Amino acid sequence: MTLHATIDRVTDRIRERSQVSRGRYLAKIARAAQEGPARAHLSCGNQAHAYAAMEDKVDMATTRKPNIGIVTAYNDMLSAHQPYERYPDLIRAAGQAAGATVQVAGGVPAMCDGVTQGRKGMELSLFSRDVIALAAGVALSHDCFDSAMYLGVCDKIVPGLIIAAAIFGHVPAVFVPAGPMPSGLPNDEKSRVRQQFATGEVGREELMKAEMASYHGPGTCTFYGTANTNQMLMEFMGLHLPGSSFVNPNTPLREALTVAAVERAAAITNLGNEYLPAGEVLDERAFVNGIVGLMATGGSTNLVLHLPAMARAAGVLIDIEDFHDLSENVPLMARVYPNGLADVNHFHAAGGLGYMIGQLLEAGLLHPDVKTINGTGLDGYTAEPRLDGARIRWEAGARDSLNDKILRPASDPFARTGGMKQLQGNLGRGVIKISAVAPERHVIEARARVFQDQEAVKTAFRNGEFTEDTIVVVRFQGPRANGMPELHSLTPTLAVLQDRGLKVALVTDGRMSGASGKVPAAIHISPEAASGGPLARLRDGDMLRLDAAHGTLECLEADFEARTPMAFDPEESSEGMGRELFAAFRAVAGPATDGAGVVV
């Protein structure tokens, strides 16, 4: 199938924009690769330190067996990462069988946004992506590894690991998922109980019961938030093995897929004939494919922040106009909560990513000729893994959707576009996701209520202050103000107002969770208010217009441009819960339009 003209045009635009930075990047990783396998350059003393605790130290010192480094985000507080506890032993055994040695190179932090939502710790969340990249860089700096396996799933973890994998782009990289937990309480029922709690209809006991029934075992949360969007992305970008993203933890198929991932990590090193540097996988075509997957699945808006930062680490420059243009031409093929009632297990059973990739390839909406850890070409990602004894056999995947309420063909999608819109106007630049927003709410003109934090919004709600159509503005939530926390805890409040018949919307220089959906939210507004951006000039009662149909975000007051911006007071976000440690990050963080990065 001929490549779609918009896919071609956007890719060329990114390629041209990135010509200098990508050229420098490729030259850098080529120089590193020319030095040959890393361990060959270690002194005897260096090597003795590196191998001292290993049972197979003789092999490591005297043979040309590839040495695989594990970078792990394991902790047993995150349900998604708890299964990784067993992975090092499994990978070591599989590595030995594949003629390789294996070492855990290092660990990286992994925080749970579900725990910190609405709390002070959430102000560390986005910056944890940069800490993860730094920690992974320290792990790989020992220069002992012929390939690396990255164990990570959730929100900032995968993007941080990708940044590190790109910086160490001469080292082959294999990303290894852990899978979603089995289905529990349906997500729409959980959402209903949350809204009932917000209005006082049920107490904390009922709320806790619903939450525990929803989040109930090892694996990712089953809604299609940032964690599961990350897993989709790794498959669309060729860094997972085909069909591996949404296989449940602690199953024979999951274990066999991990073994197969080890075998690929051993096969693609610079010691063999299939050398595949991570930096060659992470080219502009891979990132365009990832954005196409984001739009086709209705994925998390957090990736609009993460993808530019990830790409920048590989010398590829992505702008939010690229997301917008691709979204306008990629059909929405999936309905997974919060965009529908199904969860990721239902999506996977209906045909999943293999079906979607096949459909998008046939429609010319994906680059087919990319490099992947599975070999050249994305067509291998239309296959499904099956157990053949204890090993994996890939066979042809679904050619038809098994449930058209969850998954539809590209020719008959749920919506013609991916539902991610760029917004521009005198309030700045940002994005809005409308795939779950009712069409009659795509344009909202109403007076503003302006708040400096999300708790003030909740207080106003409890006091009964929202009695008319309102655009809620929460400013000073950008990366330089307080680390750009998610404001997902506002979702039940705003949803209640919407269910009461009011037209409401959110405008913020902060983030919303990948689990947020049906309330219109103009997010990531840049320049941020703390840098003197337009949101700092807003006042209560200003008439605002959010028009997702035309991609505009405007203050309609005649004197708006002449106002003096309100100054940001950093005192509230300067200390407590570790925020003191991140003052240097806040001082240098880039704008949201570039990914709000610190290290890239």
Annotated binding site for [4Fe-4S] cluster: 154, 221
Exposed, middle or buried, 109 (CB in 10 Å: 0-12/13-18/19+)? middle
> 75: how many CB neighbours lie within 10 A of its CB?
16
Residue the block writes with tokens 């089953």: 222
| 392 membership: H or E segment, kind and range | strand 391-396
Closest CA to 417 of 318, 505, 294: 294
Residues 176 and 261: beta-carbon distance below 8 Å? yes
SS3 of residue 313 by DSSP: helix
CA–CA gap between residue 553 and residue 508 (Å, rounded):
11
Q: Which residues line the annotated binding site? A: 154, 221
SS3 of residue 117 by DSSP: coil
Alpha helices in 237-343 (DSSP H): 252-267, 278-281, 284-297, 302-313, 320-327
> 579: how many CB neighbours lie within 10 A of its CB?
20
Strand 173-176 relative to strand 147-151: parallel, antiparallel, unpaired?
A: parallel
Longest C-alpha distance within the chain, in Å?
77
CA–CA gap between residue 553 and residue 557 (Å, rounded):
13
CA–CA gap between residue 559 and residue 537 (Å, rounded):
10
**420 Cβ partners below 8 Å, 6+ apart?**
294, 295, 301, 304, 323, 324, 327, 431, 432, 433, 434, 435
Residues 111 and 124: beta-carbon distance below 8 Å? yes
Question: Six-digit token pair at 11?
Answer: 């890719």
Alpha helices in 168-203 (DSSP H): 187-199
> 597: how many CB neighbours lie within 10 A of its CB?
27
CA–CA gap between residue 426 and residue 412 (Å, rounded):
37
CA–CA gap between residue 40 and residue 504 (Å, rounded):
62
What is the chain's Cα-based Rg? 24
**33 Cβ partners below 8 Å, 6+ apart?**
170, 270, 275, 277
User: Angle, to 10 degrees, between the axis of helix 320-327 and the axis of helix 284-297?
Assistant: 50
Closest CA to 567 of 468, 469, 475, 485: 475
Taking phi over 0 as left and psi of -120 to 50 as alpha, with beta for the rest, 595 belongs to left
CA–CA gap between residue 514 and residue 303 (Å, rounded):
9
Taken in order 286, 244, 323, 524, the sign of the CA dihedral is negative
SS3 of residue 482 by DSSP: helix
